[in-house]
């Protein structure tokens, strides 16, 4: 079973923007989803993702408007209930149609690293304009696509590695000069199949 679910849900939505996706995660169904998974899916739907669930699967891609427009919708929301999964939303905001605001994420400051500061710094490397507050991030995506050739640091934080790997699904990996996520092996702490699964999604 592929985990964590929020990462793969976002992967399906982002990949679909550039003609890939959707992504189906099998072996999970409504009864197995945690409340955090459900709330994350709701947030992703607000951004224009298409979410479908079966008895033992969940599938994520771009909704009709996002698929035709090639962008997700910007979001302004309180993420106190899903602070870790909100890191995935921060990277998804790179593909939105305007500035997104992630509020009430002060707990990021006391994780494996200061995730607010780290996320702001690395998002800027990809061309985003980021405003950093004590417990929020405002992320405006680059107007002309993600910057290529960036070297993303992960700060010995497995979630940073996994979240920024999603940027490759939105086209930056197909740019002339690829961006690189350092220390990506850290993602094994969360999902031993992440690297292989990411390549499978990118090849669709």
Active site residues: 84
Quickly count helices (H) and strands (E) in the chain: 7, 9
19: left (phi over 0), alpha (psi -120 to 50) or beta: left
Q: What letter would DSSP give residue 155?
A: T
- Chain-centroid distance of CA 129 in Å reads 17
Q: What is the DSSP string of 173-185?
A: GGSSS--EETTGG
Q: Which tokens go with 8? A: 């793969």
Cβ neighbours for 92, distance < 8 A, ≥ 6 positions apart = 10, 13, 14, 44, 47, 72, 166
């Amino acid at each position: 079973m592929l985990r964590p679910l929020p990462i793969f849900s976002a992967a399906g939505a982002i990949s679909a923007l550039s003609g890939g996706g959707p992504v189906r995660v099998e072996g999970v169904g409504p009864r197995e989803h945690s409340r955090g998974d459900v709330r994350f899916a709701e947030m992703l739907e607000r951004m224009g993702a298409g979410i479908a669930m079966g008895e033992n699967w969940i599938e994520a891609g771009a909704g009709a408007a996002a698929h035709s427009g090639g962008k997700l919708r910007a979001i302004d929301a309180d993420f106190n209930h899903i602070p870790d999964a909100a890191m995935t939303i921060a990277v998804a905001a790179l593909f939105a149609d305007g500035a997104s605001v992630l509020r009430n994420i002060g707990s990021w400051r006391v994780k494996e690293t200061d995730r607010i500061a780290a996320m702001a710094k690395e998002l800027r490397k990809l061309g985003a304009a980021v405003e950093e507050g004590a417990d929020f991030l405002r992320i405006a995506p680059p107007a002309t696509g993600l910057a290529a050739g960036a070297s993303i640091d992960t700060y010995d934080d497995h979630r940073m590695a996994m979240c920024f790997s999603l940027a490759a699904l939105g086209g930056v990996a197909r740019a002339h000069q690829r961006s690189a996520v350092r220390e990506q092996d850290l993602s094994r702490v969360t999902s031993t199949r992440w690297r292989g699964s990411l390549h499978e999604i990118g090849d669709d």
